Amino acid sequence: MTVFFHRARYLLAVILISTDPCLAQAVDTPVTKTLDGYLGAGALSMPKYAGGATNNTRFVPLVMGEYEETAYLHLDRAGVRLWHTDDKKIAIGIAAQPRFGFYAKDGDRLAGMSARHDAVEGGAAFEWELPQFSLSVAYFTDWSDTSGGQSLQFSIDHQLIDEGPWDLSAYLDLDYANANIVQYYFGVRANEATATRPAYQPGAAVNSSLGFTGAYKLNKDYALLFGGEVTALGATAAASPIVQRRTGLMSYFGVGLVF
């Protein structure tokens, strides 16, 4: 499944969840249908698979926005805040995001292997906005029943510039993926082993990502959207015989509406 369909599905899910009467009662915020963020489209380049040596570029929607500080879609993560403090500095809710797989055609080291399918992971999310940065911790399970694994996601975000036409943030993400996830996406099954690709059963790994998201407002209605991210695979994932590069680069550039 492409990035486009993943994000379109998540956006629809957020809209449906955020308009559910039961959840509306859980968040005591007046409904004024206020939107804040960017909605656009552009080119996104990312590795064909985690650990691959080549990138694939495609045209995708670029969505970074919030509805009443309750429902949000930030590129590839969607969520709903079910509870928050009066000042909205601390919130608890649910979130979901994809984990991408591969097909045998995506790299030479994958020839003859079975496909590893994309997964939808989601669960409880905790957010804490501090004066200089924002923290997020989430515990995810495999909602799509693809790998059957669990992960712990930690993120710290810092607003670098929010003045005039510029809106620029930097972030650090840590992704603890348990053995089920790492074995599914980086393991080599006995029937997939070859003379140059031995069977491999890895354990858990901590993958790390350092990146930025930005916008340059051309006027009050339109903005250029851009961002980039470098991801480093954890030791057990990086040691897989299917991995060509331990680090991968994702970047995007597009244009969108300001709302």
pTM to 2 decimal places: 0.85
CA atoms of 243 and 77, how far apart (whole Å): 25
Specify the pLDDT at position 7: 41
Q: How many helices (H) and strands (E) does the chain have?
A: 4, 12
Q: DSSP letters along 27-75, please?
A: S-------EEEEEEEEEEEEESSTT-SSEEEEEEEEEEEEETTTEEEET
Cβ contact 115:101 at 8 Å: yes
For 64-110, what is each residue's pLDDT tens digit? 999 998 999 999 999 999 999 999 999 999 999 999 999 999 999 99
Which tens digits make up the pLDDT trace of 116-125? Answer: 999 999 999 9
List pLDDT tens digits, range 150-200: 999 999 999 999 999 999 999 999 999 999 999 999 999 999 999 999 999
Nearest Cα to Cα of residue 244 among 46, 56, 44, 54: 54
Beta bridge partners of 168: 161, 214
Q: What is the pLDDT of residues 6-25, one digit of tens each?
A: 444 444 444 334 434 443 34
> 10 Å Cβ neighbour count for 41?
16
Residue 34: what pLDDT?
87
pLDDT: which is higher, 51 or 24:
51
Residue 41: closest CA among 63, 11, 61, 64: 61
In what helix (H) or strand (E) does residue 123 lie, and over which residues does it extend? strand 119-129
CA 178, CA 147: separation in Å to the nearest integer?
10
What whole-number distance in Å separates Cα of residue 186 and Cα of residue 180?
A: 10
